[in-house]
């Protein structure tokens, strides 16, 4: 059976982590080795993970640093990077097992389709944009998860300890033709979009992406992102 390390970076995620872990730990088609990489939570995040038998390590705050630390500490030939506010779909483990079983995918990476926990038309538009961005530009959102063989991950240099755009930097090295969208949709929180407004959030994301491709250092882009 495939041994899959599921790496989840956290920061004060006590309210959202239980549902995410429940989906991970419910796997049957793969042997999961979940790993929570905490960036200094002051709530019960770490306790919640440990109560479920999940290994917890700490790392320098920042998703790039936490993902890199998690990959270095994880056990398994395959890695699944997952945000703490993202829930895997039913049957995700069978999809992961089938993807890993294909030898051609040893040098590819899989991502899920994106769905928000919001029924508004604005959420559906962002989902459509995410699908278009992934299909034509090879730039899936970090919320879509990333399933990748450890050997391929290490050959690419792994996640960089960036304060922002760590997901974009990674998928650019993978390349559009080596990214596969799996036949399943994760559900992720729309709270950030609802808080700032969908249009404003999309515009901010576009500005940050443009600045990144223009060569502005991620530490400066992080100030724009907020």
Establish if 219 belongs to a structural domain. no
Establish if 208 belongs to a structural domain. no
Range of the domain at 186: 3-191
**For position 226, what pLDDT does the model report?**
78
Establish if 145 belongs to a structural domain. yes
The answer to whether residue 131 scores a pLDDT higher than 90 is yes
Strand order, beta sheet including 86-87: 55-58, 31-38, 3-10, 78-81, 146-149, 109-116, 179-188, 86-87
Establish if 41 belongs to a structural domain. yes
Render pLDDT for 155-183 as a digit per residue (tens, 0 to 9): 999 999 999 999 999 999 999 999 999 99
**For position 15, what pLDDT does the model report?**
96
For residue 112, the domain's CATH number is: 3.90.550.10
Q: What is the pTM assigned to this prediction?
A: 0.96
Establish if 214 belongs to a structural domain. no
**For position 158, what pLDDT does the model report?**
97
When divided into structural domains, the chain yields a total of 1
Establish if 198 belongs to a structural domain. no
The answer to whether residue 49 scores a pLDDT higher than 90 is yes
The answer to whether residue 9 scores a pLDDT higher than 90 is yes
């Amino acid at each position: 059976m495939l041994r899959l390390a599921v790496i989840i970076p956290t920061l004060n995620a006590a309210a959202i982590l239980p549902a995410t872990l429940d989906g991970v730990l419910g796997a049957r088609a793969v042997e999961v080795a979940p790993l929570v990489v905490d960036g200094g939570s002051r709530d019960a995040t770490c306790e919640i993970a440990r109560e479920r038998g999940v290994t917890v390590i700490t790392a320098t705050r920042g998703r790039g640093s936490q993902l890199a630390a998690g990959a270095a500490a994880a056990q398994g030939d395959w890695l699944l990077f997952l945000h703490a506010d993202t829930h895997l779909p039913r049957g995700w483990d069978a999809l992961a097992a089938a993807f890993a079983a294909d030898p051609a995918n040893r040098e590819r990476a899989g991502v899920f389709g994106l769905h928000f926990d919001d029924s508004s038309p604005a959420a559906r538009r962002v989902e459509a944009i995410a699908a278009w961005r992934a299909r034509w530009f090879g730039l899936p959102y970090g919320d879509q998860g990333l399933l990748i063989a450890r050997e391929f991950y290490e050959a690419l240099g792994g996640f960089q300890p960036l304060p922002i755009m760590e997901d974009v930097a990674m998928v650019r090295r993978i390349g559009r033709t080596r990214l596969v969208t799996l036949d399943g949709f994760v559900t992720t929180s729309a709270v950030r979009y609802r808080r700032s407004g969908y249009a404003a959030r999309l515009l901010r994301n576009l500005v940050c992406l443009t600045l990144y491709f223009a060569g502005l250092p991620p530490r400066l882009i992080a100030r724009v992102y907020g």
